[in-house]
Amino acid sequence: MKKLITVLTVITVLVFTIVVYAHGPGRSGEDYLCPGHGHGVHMMGPGYKGHMMGQAGGFGQKLLDETADLRRQLHNKKFEYFEAKRNPETTYGTIAKLEKDIHKLQAKIHEKAQGRAYGKFGGYGCM
Task: Give the pLDDT confidence score for residue 47 in this predicted structure.
Answer: 46
Task: Give the pLDDT confidence score for residue 118 in this predicted structure.
Answer: 52
Residue 59 scores a pLDDT above 70:
no
Q: Is 116:123 a contact under the CB 8 Å cutoff?
A: yes
In tens, the pLDDT along 10-44 reads 899 888 888 777 766 555 544 444 444 444 444 45
Task: Give the pLDDT confidence score for residue 54 in this predicted structure.
Answer: 46
Average pLDDT, the chain: 75
The set of residues, in sequence order, having a beta carbon less than 8 Å from that of 39 and lying 6+ positions away, is 26, 28, 31, 46, 47
Nearest CA among 60, 70, 37 for reference residue 116: 60
